[in-house]
């Protein structure tokens, strides 16, 4: 009997014993194409020797030094490299162990920044409905996914949620995409004014939505308007690129494509690429300076932050991405994946929508393609697709839709950046 506590208590999962390029191998020797990189994690596949060698070297040299006493070479080098390529004025990197911790850190940093800035009344966080920002209690409170929040409510109460803005499905019939984006952004200003212009500390959003709906790009002009509104009211813009960052969308950071830089940026999954648990929160020099010149102490921290082995892995991952120009490869393979997805599935009677960017794609499944009427959530279509694909040797990530009748079930594809066209073809054969 297994003593591991699995998330799905009654599932019997195969034992993963090996990784080979884009494939995972179970104890029976069956191979699975990692078509979702777990959940947009394994961007370099599973046997990248540069990363594994970096980890081994670092473990041999130094496994742990508490950041209350030391910094470490890999953490310093990784921070330098990230800042060199980061958007806007991002200037400092706070390392954590994953996405939820990055979001928790961002929320607490925003709060402390305003406190040190002499504006203690700025306590309110605005996020978007249907969003997911992590599973720890603060990050869960930021997320607007009603189903995930339900059994843990009341969560942090000073959070409110405005409409999300998706490239599809939520715009009025006679509205252009651009106008829809501006209308959705306007909800932010309306909410700030409703709460009181000087009471909001930050707005958090995921530039290309991965969690909840699976790879939905934003509407052009939306984030530019969001940035303007944040600037007007002194509200910090936190972008959650835990899933969509690190090259996944064909840009090193997803917000690069919007021409917008945040005040705080959260990254995780692709940073460790599955080789080590690592995440990071990047903030501007202005935010850091306010704390450094104020109390001089960020009241937040975890034992394993900036772990040297995790940092060494992250450093090797980022070097691998940059030196091999994998972001350009993501764009090229992304064009191929999009073409094949549309060719095979666009006419399917139950495919409502195909959209994405780079190697980050989602497909919506609906009861009726013309009306886009979702399947009854009780049918569990996304979960059944995941199971069937898995049996066929494909790992794809299921998303059960929004359960509000607006969006159907989805599967998300986020294959390794090193996937060949033939491997992508094989994955789509399995899905088909
Ligand atoms: N934010 C987003 C956008 C995510 O997709 C996730 C993970 N799915 C998280 C935060 C939380 O990350 P983690 O699971 O590493 O805590």
* CATH number of the domain within which 399 lies: 3.90.1150.10
User: How many A from CA of 284 to the centre of ligand 1?
Assistant: 22
- The residue to mutate among 268, 280, 360, having the most atoms of ligand 1 within 8 angstroms of its beta carbon, is 268
Predicted confidence (pLDDT) at residue 86 exceeds the cutoff of 90: yes
Residues 367 and 275 in one domain: no
Atom of ligand 1 nearest to the CA of 211: 5
Query: Does ligand 1 come within 6 angstroms of the Cβ of 132?
Result: yes
Banded model confidence at residue 147, pLDDT cuts 50, 70, 90: confident
Q: What is the ipTM of this complex?
A: 0.99
Atom of ligand 1 nearest to the CA of 100: 16
| Integer angstrom CA distances of residue 229 from 4, 126, 182, 234, 264 | 47, 13, 11, 9, 16
383 occurs within a structural domain: yes
Atom of ligand 1 nearest to the CA of 243: 5
5 occurs within a structural domain: no
Banded model confidence at residue 111, pLDDT cuts 50, 70, 90: very high
CB 67 within 8 A of CB 306: yes
Residues 309 and 165 in one domain: yes
22 occurs within a structural domain: yes
Q: How many CA atoms lie within 13 A of 283 on its CB side?
A: 24
Query: Does ligand 1 come within 6 angstroms of the Cβ of 240?
Result: yes
Cα 94 to Cα 277: distance, rounded to the nearest angstrom: 14
Cα 278 to Cα 388: distance, rounded to the nearest angstrom: 31
Atom of ligand 1 nearest to the CA of 134: 11
Count up the domains in the chain and report the number.
Answer: 2
* CATH number of the domain within which 105 lies: 3.40.640.10
7 occurs within a structural domain: no
Atom of ligand 1 nearest to the CA of 139: 10
159 occurs within a structural domain: yes
pLDDT at 387: 95
Query: Does ligand 1 come within 6 angstroms of the Cβ of 268?
Result: yes
11 occurs within a structural domain: no
Q: C-alpha angle with apex 327: 326 to 332, nearest 5 degrees?
A: 90
Q: What is the mean pLDDT of residues 366-376?
A: 90
Predicted confidence (pLDDT) at residue 378 exceeds the cutoff of 90: no
Query: Does ligand 1 come within 6 angstroms of the Cβ of 206?
Result: yes
Where is the domain boundary, 293, 323, 353? 323
- The residue to mutate among 133, 137, 264, 314, having the most atoms of ligand 1 within 8 angstroms of its beta carbon, is 133
DSSP for 117-185, please give it: TT-TT--EEEEETT----SSHHHHHH---HHHHHTT-S--SSEEEE----SSS-S-TT--HHHHHHHHH
Predicted confidence (pLDDT) at residue 168 exceeds the cutoff of 80: no
Query: Does ligand 1 come within 6 angstroms of the Cβ of 98?
Result: yes
User: How many A from CA of 127 to the centre of ligand 1?
Assistant: 15
Residues 314 and 336 in one domain: no
191 occurs within a structural domain: yes
Residues 132 and 154 in one domain: yes
Residues 393 and 311 in one domain: no
Residues 173 and 232 in one domain: yes
Query: Does ligand 1 come within 6 angstroms of the Cβ of 242?
Result: yes
User: How many A from CA of 276 to the centre of ligand 1?
Assistant: 15
**CB under 8 Å to 338, separation ≥6 — which residues?**
354, 356, 361
List pLDDT tens digits, range 4-51: 888 888 778 999 999 999 999 999 999 999 999 999 999 999 999 999
Burial of 271 (0-12, 13-18, 19+ CB in 10 A): buried
Residues 214 and 355 in one domain: no
Banded model confidence at residue 169, pLDDT cuts 50, 70, 90: low
List pLDDT tens digits, range 316-342: 999 999 999 999 999 999 999 999 999
Burial of 432 (0-12, 13-18, 19+ CB in 10 A): exposed
Cα 78 to Cα 260: distance, rounded to the nearest angstrom: 23
User: How many A from CA of 192 to the centre of ligand 1?
Assistant: 26
Residues 120 and 171 in one domain: yes
Predicted confidence (pLDDT) at residue 404 exceeds the cutoff of 90: no
Where is the domain boundary, 260, 291, 323? 323
Nearest residue (CA) to ligand 1, atom 13: 99
Residue 150, token pair as written in the block: 């339900």
Residues 387 and 292 in one domain: no
Domain that holds residue 199: 53-323
List pLDDT tens digits, range 269-308: 999 999 999 999 999 999 999 999 999 999 999 999 999 9
Atom of ligand 1 nearest to the CA of 279: 15
Residues 271 and 398 in one domain: no
83 occurs within a structural domain: yes
Residues 141 and 272 in one domain: yes
Query: Does ligand 1 come within 6 angstroms of the Cβ of 211?
Result: yes
Q: What is the mean pLDDT of residues 214-235?
A: 96
Query: Does ligand 1 come within 6 angstroms of the Cβ of 396?
Result: no
Residues 356 and 283 in one domain: no
Q: How many CA atoms lie within 13 A of 67 on its CB side?
A: 19
User: How many A from CA of 256 to the centre of ligand 1?
Assistant: 20
Predicted confidence (pLDDT) at residue 260 exceeds the cutoff of 70: yes
pLDDT at 383: 93
User: How many A from CA of 264 to the centre of ligand 1?
Assistant: 16
pLDDT at 90: 98
Query: Does ligand 1 come within 6 angstroms of the Cβ of 280?
Result: no
Where is the domain boundary, 271, 305, 323? 323
Nearest residue (CA) to ligand 1, atom 14: 99
User: How many A from CA of 357 to the centre of ligand 1?
Assistant: 19
């Amino acid at each position: 009997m297994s003593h591991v506590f699995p998330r799905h208590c009654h599932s019997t999962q195969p034992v993963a014993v090996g990784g080979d390029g884009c494939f995972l191998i179970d104890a029976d020797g069956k191979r699975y194409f990692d078509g979702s990189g777990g959940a947009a994690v394994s961007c370099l596949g599973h046997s990248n020797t540069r990363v594994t060698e970096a980890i081994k070297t670092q473990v041999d040299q130094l496994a742990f030094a508490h950041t209350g006493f030391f910094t470490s070479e890999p953490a310093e080098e990784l921070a330098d490299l990230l800042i060199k390529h980061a958007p806007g004025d991002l200037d400092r990197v706070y390392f954590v162990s994953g996405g939820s911790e990055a979001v928790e850190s961002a929320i607490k940093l925003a709060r402390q920044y305003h406190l040190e800035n002499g504006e203690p009344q700025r306590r309110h966080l605005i996020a978007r409905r249907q969003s997911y920002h992590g599973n720890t209690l603060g990050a869960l409170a930021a997320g607007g996914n009603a189903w995930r929040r339900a059994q843990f409510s009341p969560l942090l109460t000073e959070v409110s949620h405005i409409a999300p803005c998706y490239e599809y499905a939520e715009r009025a019939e006679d509205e252009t995409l651009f106008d829809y984006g501006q209308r959705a952004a306007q909800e932010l200003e309306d909410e700030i004014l409703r709460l009181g212009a000087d009471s909001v500390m930050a707005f958090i959003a995921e530039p290309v939505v991965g969690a909840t709906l699976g790879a939905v790009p934003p509407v052009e002009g939306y984030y530019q308007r969001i940035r303007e509104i944040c600037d007007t009211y002194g509200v910090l813009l936190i972008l959650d690129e835990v899933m969509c960052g690190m090259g996944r969308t064909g840009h090193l950071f997803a917000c690069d494509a919007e021409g917008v830089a945040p005040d705080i940026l959260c990254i995780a999954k692709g940073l460790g690429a599955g080789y080590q648990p690592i995440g990071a929160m990047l903030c501007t020099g202005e935010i850091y300076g306010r704390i450094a010149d104020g109390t001089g102490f960020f009241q937040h921290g975890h034992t394993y932050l900036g772990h040297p082995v995790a940092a060494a892995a992250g450093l090797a991952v980022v070097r691998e991405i940059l030196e091999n120009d994998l972001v350009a490869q993501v764009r090229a393979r992304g064009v191929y994946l999009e073409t094949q997805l549309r060719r095979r599935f666009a006419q399917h009677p139950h495919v409502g929508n195909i959209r994405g960017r780079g190697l980050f794609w989602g497909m919506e499944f609906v009861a009726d393609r013309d009306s886009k009427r979702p399947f009854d959530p009780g049918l569990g279509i996304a979960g059944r697709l995941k199971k069937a694909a898995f049996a066929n040797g494909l790992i794809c990530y299921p998303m059960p839709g929004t359960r509000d009748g607006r969006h159907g079930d989805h599967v998300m594809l986020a294959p390794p950046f090193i996937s060949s066209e033939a491997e992508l073809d094989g994955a789509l054969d399995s899905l088909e």
